[in-house]
């Protein structure tokens, strides 16, 4: 595992975008795993600045709410369209998000998992981490072997995501999420974390017990993980824990 510590959230985006850009340059039809929420947004913004030809790049989103009408501005389908597909000039036909409004969401989840495999798997998977340690919408207790499926959102997750809706009661109760087993099959996991409120859970995920109580501790089981954290989120990472964080100064990041 490599850990980069940068001054702030904007800088996490610069470092993550550099990694993504290198993948796309070496493989113009790369399969990217894209996350939503706030953490990855600086990476999409910074990647747009690389002005790469992204027209052949494929992408799979991590998750989607179940039950939002098509075109709902807070559906992850719409968020990915705005923040990823359009911003980066990708072909919408090559960007997939789970079908949260399918008549049979369980079948849609199975089909999605199969589609990721059929594409040859994910080259680099962007991730954020929830305050309860969730990865994608794998809430505590999710099996490390889990596949893409319908899940019930934890109340804490619904409360955190209420900021995108008029009220917490508007946040859907169910979702389709890639499973932890699905995510662990990606060839490279790229976790972006910013903010003091994530410091405790980041330290637990990276240095704590590997346990399904903390889904993000599954990162410790993967061979190729890059963590890009800002100073605030990295504050509780233990020196001497085996993984030495590399501090990237502001001048090197250029933001």
Binding site for ligand F6R (CB under 6 A): 35-39, 62-63, 128-130, 134-137
Nearer to ligand F6R, 4 or 65 (CB): 65
Alpha-carbon distance of 44 to 13, in angstroms, equals 7
> Minimum distance between the CB of residue 39 and ligand F6R, rounded to whole angstroms?
3
Shortest distance in whole angstroms from residue 33 CB to ligand F6R:
10
Question: CA-CA distance, 119 to 125, in Å (whole number)?
Answer: 14
Tell me the closest approach of the beta carbon of residue 77 to ligand F6R, in angstroms. 12
- 49 three-class SS: coil
Rg (CA), the chain: 17
Reading the block at residue 12, the tokens are: 């996490």
Name the closest residue to ligand F6R (Cβ): 128
Comparing CB distances to ligand F6R, the nearer of 53 and 168 is 168
Residue nearer to ligand F6R on the CB measure, 27 or 85: 85
The Cα-based distances of 101 to 75, 149, 203, 228, 247 in angstroms read: 10, 14, 36, 33, 43
In angstroms, rounded to a whole number, what is the distance separating the alpha carbons of residues 255 and 232? 17
CB of 82 to ligand F6R, least distance (A): 14
Nearer to ligand F6R, 39 or 148 (CB): 39
Phi/psi at 193 (nearest 5 deg)? -140, 135
Measured from the Cβ of residue 51, the count of other Cβ atoms closer than 10 Å reads 10
Nearer to ligand F6R, 163 or 251 (CB): 163
Q: Least distance from C-beta 59 to ligand F6R, angstroms? A: 12
Cβ atoms within 10 Å, residue 195: 15
Residue with tokens 């995920």: 205
Nearer to ligand F6R, 63 or 123 (CB): 63
Shortest separation between residue 164's beta carbon and ligand F6R, angstroms: 9
d(CA 156, CA 162): 10
- 3-state DSSP assignment of residue 225: strand
Q: Please, what is the minimum distance in Å from the beta carbon of residue 153 to ligand F6R?
A: 10
- For ligand F6R, give the closer residue by CB, 135 or 171: 135
Q: Is the dihedral of CA 135, 141, 145, 146 positive or negative?
A: negative
> What residues contact 215, with CB distance under 8 A and at least 6 apart?
133, 134, 135, 138, 139, 140, 142, 180
């Amino acid at each position: 595992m490599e850990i980069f510590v940068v001054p702030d959230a904007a800088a996490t985006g610069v470092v993550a975008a550099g990694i993504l850009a290198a993948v796309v340059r070496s493989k113009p039809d790369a399969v990217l795993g894209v996350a939503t929420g706030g953490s990855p947004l600086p990476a999409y913004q910074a990647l747009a600045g690389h002005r790469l030809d992204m027209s052949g790049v494929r992408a799979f989103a991590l998750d989607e709410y179940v039950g939002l009408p098509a075109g709902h501005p807070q559906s992850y389908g719409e968020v990915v369209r705005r923040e990823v597909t359009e911003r980066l000039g990708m072909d919408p036909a090559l960007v997939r998000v789970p079908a949260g409004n399918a008549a049979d969401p369980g079948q849609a989840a199975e089909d999605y998992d199969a589609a990721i495999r059929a594409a040859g798997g994910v080259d680099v998977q962007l991730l954020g981490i929830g305050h309860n340690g969730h990865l994608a919408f794998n809430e505590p207790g999710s099996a490390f072997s889990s596949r893409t499926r319908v899940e019930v959102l934890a109340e804490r997750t619904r409360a955190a995501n209420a900021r995108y809706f008029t009220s917490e009661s508007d946040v859907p109760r169910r979702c389709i999420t890639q499973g932890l087993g699905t995510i662990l099959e990606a060839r490279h996991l790229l976790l972006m974390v910013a903010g003091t409120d994530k410091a405790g859970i980041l330290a637990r995920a990276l240095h704590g017990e590997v346990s399904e109580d903390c889904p993000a501790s599954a990162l410790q089981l993967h061979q190729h993980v890059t963590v890009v954290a800002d100073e605030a989120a990295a504050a509780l990472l233990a020196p001497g824990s085996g993984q030495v964080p590399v501090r990237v100064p502001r001048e090197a990041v250029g933001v």
